[in-house]
Each structure stands twice: as C-alpha cells, then as structure tokens.
Structure 1
Amino acid sequence: MLAPPLPSRARPGAVARWLWWVAALVVAMVVVGGITRLTESGLSITEWKPLSGTLPPLNAEQWEAEFANYRKIPEYQLLNQGMTLAQFKGIFFWEYVHRLLARLVGVAFAVPLAWFWIRGALPTGYKGRLLALLALGGLQGAIGWWMVASGLSVRTDVSHIRLSVHLLNALLILAGTVWTALDLRELAADRYARPARLTTIGIVTLLVLFVQLLFGAWVAGLNAGLVTDQWPLMNGRFFPLDEWRSRGALDAIVNDPYVVHFIHRWWAWVAVAALILLARAAKRAGHPKVARAIHTTFGIQILLGISTVMTGVRIEVAALHQLVGALLVIATTWGAHATGRR
C-alpha cells in the first residue's frame, strides 16, 4: 500500500478553522478601510509607526502633536482649514481602527502559523502557501503606507491607483486564505484529497471580477460615485461623451471620474454573466449551495451598487456595498474551487 500523504500529526481541520477566522478579520478590515475612505479619514495619521503606532494618543499633548502633523499636509490646508480637534479625532478614529485591525490580522496569522508549524500540524505541501500569504500580509502594510504617502505632500487625497493596489492585494489575501481553507477542509474529510485546480471557467470569472473590483477601487479613489445620483442614466446621458472626448482614451479610462464610473456600472453586467456561468458549472459539479451563494451575493451587490449611486453615496449603503463585494470574492473563490476539486 502507498503511504498516506497526510502526516499523523497533521491537523488540516484545525488549520482550516483558523484560516476561516483570519478570512473574517480580513473582511472586517476591508469594510473599515472602505469607511475610512468614505469619511475622508485616510490621511489623518501622517506617520507610519508599525510598533509604537499601536497605541493611540493618550493625553492632550499627544493629541495636539498628531493634529499639528495633520495641519501640515495639503488636505488640511486646502480643504479642512478651521477643523477643530474634536473633528480631527473623528477622522483619526477610523484610520486608527483600520491600522489596528491590520496589525491584529498580522498577529492572528503569524502566531497560530508558528504554533501549528512547531507542532507539526501543517499538512505536507501547505507551508509554502501559508508563508506566501504571510508575505502578502507584510507587503500589504507597506502598500498601505505607500498609498498614504501619496497624499501627504502635493495631493489632497491618496492616489486612486495606489488605493486600488492596496484593496486588490487585500482581496487577493482573502481569496488565497479562503482557497487554502477549502483545500484543507477537503483534506480533513479525506486524507488522500488533492488540492483543487483552477479551471478555465474559474480563471475567466476571477479575471472578469478583478476588472470590476479594479474599477470599483478607482471609483472610490476618484470619488466617482458622486458624479451622478441617477441610474441607469448619468445626469441625463447614457455615455459620458464630452469627458471621453476631452482626454485621450487611456487617460479617460484610468483617470476621468465619469468614464470610470460608467465602466464600473456596466462592466458589472459582464461580471454577472461570468458569475452565472460559474454558478452553473459549480452546480453541475455537485455543489448547489455554492451556486446559490454566488447568485445571492451578486444579486445583493447589484442592488447595493445602484442604491449607493441613487443615495448620493450614503456611507451606510456604500459600506454595505464594500462588505458584499468582499463576500462576493469569497463566493467566487468558493465557486472556482468547487469546479476544480479533485
């Protein structure tokens, strides 16, 4: 007989449960990051202190020092002149919570990973994948500061390009964590189970969703959700022809708020078509629950996207849109995994 591929001390079920908790924390971080952007709070902390920044200001002197740093940057000087300390504390709160959650995710991943590793509980073939996820988490912190730094000297906000890199890397971490947890769950049920492979329909759907998420990040970074409160038209027009004509095609696609908004709202239907095909493939593979999860998340997401526009980007609605976007990434990853199970 062939030797079992699963070491006797390996605990794939326990490792999978840990990864689901990590995924939940990543979702929370994505939502708080969205609120941070919606409340224009992202530049309230002007320094990157990975360790000492864990504690917020604890006395009046420290608060005045933080506020003094904020008053030096263009966002305050050009947009928020006259802001009170109490108002500053309001925007500081969201950026601080976002950074604190990021640290918590790092600890919640690194410490259990070390514990499982030392105890020999990690199944064969998974150490490299988990280390890669840990490295992406460390990179996420650096990308976050790179994003914030873009708004501290000349601009009054962060670069929407850098913001998209920050968001998409977080969602990549989320998808990788979920995929690994699903593989480990299968291994816990069958010690001979092999990791799922990416199928053609899975790759295509993930790429289509990537484009939609990219433009969603650009919409957030350019405040493009505010260019209109109408749907399906945009200020009485279907296509932003004047904005398209005033720029080169590539410049308009990347930098014009009207054009970016237009692409995001209509590429969504391309994503819906791809997701329907993925859901059908998952159902044919014997996973009707996965198909229902995909249909439910993209249906809610479409309604929330329209509501976000028609309410003038009301924070509660926009934050829910970001939450369901993260859940849609999970459902799509689940669907791609289901079609590639072996």
Structure 2
Amino acid sequence: MPIILFGIVVLGGLTRLTESGLSIVEWKPITGVIPPITFSQWEEEFEKYKQFPEYKLLNYNISLSDFKYIYLMEWSHRMWGRMIGLIFVLPAVYFGFRGYMSRPIIKKVAGLAGLLGFQGVLGWYMVKSGLSEELLSTPGAIPRVSHYWLAAHLGSAFLLYSGMLLTGLQILRDSKIAYDFPKEVAKILANPSLNRFRSLAICAAILIFLTSMSGALVAGLDAGLIYNEFPYMGKNIIPPKSELFSKVYARFGETSLWRNFFDNPTTVQFDHRVLATTTLCAITALWLYSRRLTLPPKARLAINFVFGVSCIQVTLGISTLIYMVPIPLASAHQAGSLTLLTTALYLIHTMKRIPIKI
C-alpha cells in the first residue's frame, strides 16, 4: 500500500504541474469512473469546462485535443485514488472478519480507512476552490486551487502514507519477534543512552513534514517562479522587510501582517528556504551525533539514508528553483520530500524498543 500511495502523491504533483486539476468540474464517485469515449461525450465535457474561470481567464485558446490531455491526467489521478480505496478497504474487511488482525491493528486500519475517505473529500473541496466564479470578478486573479486546500490535501496524504507505512512495519516486526529476534539487537535498543537519539529522530521527522507542507504553500502560490536564485533573494539573503511583511496581504489591517507567512509568495518562499536549511542542518547534526552511539545495523543504515536523501533533496530543491520549476525537477523534488520522510519514519521504527526478555 505505501508504494501505491507514494505513486498517487507523485501523480498528484504532476497533475498540478501540468495544470490539469481543474479539467473535471464535477465530482461523480461512481459514474465518473468511465471517461468520455465518443466525440459527442468529449464535446459535452469540454463545454462544461468552458463555463469555469480557468478556461475563461487562462485556457480560452485550448483545443479539444489539449483538453483531452489535461482531462485524462486528472481522471487518472482520481481513478488511482478510487483504486487505493478498493485495494485497502476490501482486504481489510476480509482479514478483519476472518480474525487475522488483532484488535489494536483493527483500530488502526479503521482509522486509516476513515482518513482515506476524508482525503477524497479534501481533494474535491480543493478542486472546488479553483472553480469559484468569484475569480472572474477579482482583478488579476489566477484560476488555481486554494493553496490552503492544496496543503491540507497533501498533508493528509502524507499522514495517510505515514500511518500505513508504520503500521505495516510494525506488523512485520511483531511477526519477527514472535519467531526469533536477535537478542543482541534488543539489548542495544534497551540502552537508556539512545533515548535522546530517539527523541531527536522524531523531531527530525516532524521538521521534514513541516518543510514539506511549506513546500505545498510554495506550489499553491507559484512562489517558486520568483527569486530564481540561491542563496540570495535579490541583493541579499533576506528580502526587504517591506516585501516580507506587505500590507497588501493584511486582510484586516496592519495587525494581521502575519498573513504574509501564508499568502505572500515572497515570504512563503523565504520560509520554505529557512525550513529546508534548518532541516538539513538538523539532520546533519543528528547524523554526526549517531556516530558516537552504538546503534543496531538497520538503524545505522537508516540514519545514513536519512542524511544522504536530505542532501539530494536540497540539491533538487535548489535546482528546481534555479531552472524555474521545470516539471521533471519539480516532480522529483516532491517525490524526494516523501522519500525523505520515509527514511526518517523507518529510522524511528528501527529505534523502537523490543518487548522481549534479554
């Protein structure tokens, strides 16, 4: 399941990068499974698309052939989501009724199933935010989904992926413990000197998640298309205060300048730079700290992967910015964020104590 979820996150990123997400203007969970087939059906869908802001403000010169491309991209994303629901829920129900899952696992699986359904609802509200007719009456408005809904949709996908990954890893570990688990590994993990390292590993994973969510805000505001240089933003590393805290984004007067952190593309990009740099420094410090500790082989391998992937991810991020967000690099950067989170979660998993007698 985590592999399939990883795939839909990458596909969702491609859907956004190709500006395909607003091509299907209706949510039909059942009948939407079948795409248009005949010429008249395609014409009907195209006419529906023409009624909304993206066509009127941005894609008014689009051809039917171009529309088919973006439609099928979004349709594939939605179908992948439906497939995940079937692949996860049906076997879970079967194994649950057959008594193959313990009560704690059943509770976790039920929670994940609920989050999966919630993820679909979030996806539709995200799309709906980009179909609002208010965009037509707003000067300079760009037809795109709300960056808040985009961040919420991506965040729930990351949480769902994390939950499934950790649950799967725990099931595999419990199975191994039930048969034969190396006593020497259990002894190492029982050492109190590793408690601080465990806590720091969890903090690193949280920091990775927050950095990824700030990246969603960058993507939603197209903030990666400004200040395409690194480490400078203009003449300095830090942009002018007037740009970071502009009154344009203070919706309720000067006292709400804090909204710049979420609505101002300059501030959002700067925040993402700061978070990414902080994350890299934190992971580097954690890796250096791990050299002083006695860790199990899998944990040692995991922290090395976390450090290596973090370096690659930062390189991808800088390259995506400098080359003005080309689709291949941007997609790889988004995939890299989930890969980095995966390695951090695996590190946390390998550091769990073993409930067996040593």
Same fold, judged at TM 0.5 (above):
yes
Cα distance, 1:338 vs structure 2: 2.2
* Partner in structure 2 of residue 227 of structure 1: 226
Structure 1 residue 149 corresponds to structure 2 residue 128: yes
Q: In structure 2, give the amino acid aligned to 1:265.
A: R
Cα distance, 1:83 vs structure 2: 1.1
Report matched runs for 1:247-286 at 5 Å.
Answer: 247=247, 248=250, 249-279=257-287, 280=289, 284-286=294-296
C-alpha distance in structure 1 between counterparts of 2:245 and 2:268, whole Å: 14
C-alpha distance in structure 2 between counterparts of 1:52 and 1:302, whole Å: 42
C-alpha distance in structure 1 between counterparts of 2:290 and 2:77, whole Å: 37
Cα distance, 1:128 vs structure 2: 0.1
Cα distance, 1:52 vs structure 2: 1.1
Structure 1 residue 246 corresponds to structure 2 residue 233: no
Cα distance, 1:79 vs structure 2: 1.1
- What's the CA shift string for 1:158-178, capped at 9, x where partnerless? 000010000000000111111
Distance 1:55 1:277, change over 3 A: farther
* Partner in structure 2 of residue 316 of structure 1: 328
* Partner in structure 1 of residue 352 of structure 2: 340
Distance 1:245 1:117, change over 3 A: closer
Any conservation in 2 of the 1:243–1:258 contact (CA below 8 Å)?
yes
* Partner in structure 1 of residue 47 of structure 2: 68
* Partner in structure 2 of residue 50 of structure 1: 29
Any conservation in 1 of the 2:209–2:341 contact (CA below 8 Å)?
no
- What's the CA shift string for 1:191-231, capped at 9, x where partnerless? 2899xx99532432232222211110000100011012211
- What's the CA shift string for 1:27-49, capped at 9, x where partnerless? 10000110111111110000111
Q: Which runs of 5+ in 1 are unaligned?
A: 1-21
C-alpha distance in structure 1 between counterparts of 2:285 and 2:244, whole Å: 32
Any conservation in 2 of the 1:308–1:317 contact (CA below 8 Å)?
yes
* Partner in structure 2 of residue 170 of structure 1: 157
Any conservation in 1 of the 2:35–2:75 contact (CA below 8 Å)?
yes
Instruction: State the TM-score, normalizing by the size of structure 1.
Output: 0.88
* Partner in structure 2 of residue 125 of structure 1: 104
Any conservation in 2 of the 1:278–1:336 contact (CA below 8 Å)?
no
* Partner in structure 1 of residue 15 of structure 2: 36
Distance 1:341 1:281, change over 3 A: farther
* Partner in structure 2 of residue 11 of structure 1: none
Cα distance, 1:281 vs structure 2: 5.1
- What's the CA shift string for 1:262-304, capped at 9, x where partnerless? 1112211211233345555597442111112211211110110
* Partner in structure 2 of residue 190 of structure 1: 177
Cα distance, 1:64 vs structure 2: 1.1
Of structures 1 and 2, the one with the larger relative CO (CA 8 A, separation 6+) is 1
C-alpha distance in structure 2 between counterparts of 1:260 and 1:225, whole Å: 9
C-alpha distance in structure 2 between counterparts of 1:235 and 1:84, whole Å: 39
Any conservation in 2 of the 1:275–1:332 contact (CA below 8 Å)?
no
Structure 1 residue 92 corresponds to structure 2 residue 71: yes
C-alpha distance in structure 2 between counterparts of 1:273 and 1:339, whole Å: 21
Any conservation in 2 of the 1:42–1:148 contact (CA below 8 Å)?
yes
SS for the counterpart of 1:187 is helix
Any conservation in 1 of the 2:245–2:267 contact (CA below 8 Å)?
no
C-alpha distance in structure 2 between counterparts of 1:112 and 1:278, whole Å: 39
SS for the counterpart of 2:104 is coil
Cα distance, 1:124 vs structure 2: 4.2
SS for the counterpart of 1:190 is helix
Any conservation in 2 of the 1:39–1:91 contact (CA below 8 Å)?
yes
Distance 1:118 1:202, change over 3 A: same
Cα distance, 1:236 vs structure 2: 3.5
Any conservation in 1 of the 2:205–2:344 contact (CA below 8 Å)?
yes
* Partner in structure 2 of residue 13 of structure 1: none
- What's the CA shift string for 1:138-181, capped at 9, x where partnerless? 00000000111111122311000010000000000111111111
Distance 1:277 1:237, change over 3 A: closer
Q: In structure 2, give the amino acid aligned to 1:246.
A: S
SS for the counterpart of 1:125 is helix
RMSD of Structure 2 on Structure 1 (CA) = 2.1
Report matched runs for 1:206-225 at 5 Å.
Answer: 206-225=205-224
| 118-127 or 169-178, which deviates more | 118-127
Cα distance, 1:87 vs structure 2: 1.1
Instruction: State the TM-score, normalizing by the size of structure 2.
Output: 0.84
| 302-311 or 329-338, which deviates more | 329-338
C-alpha distance in structure 2 between counterparts of 1:240 and 1:151, whole Å: 30
Structure 1 residue 139 corresponds to structure 2 residue 112: no
Any conservation in 2 of the 1:204–1:274 contact (CA below 8 Å)?
no
Any conservation in 1 of the 2:25–2:49 contact (CA below 8 Å)?
yes
* Partner in structure 1 of residue 303 of structure 2: 291
Q: In structure 1, give the amino acid aligned to 2:278.
A: V
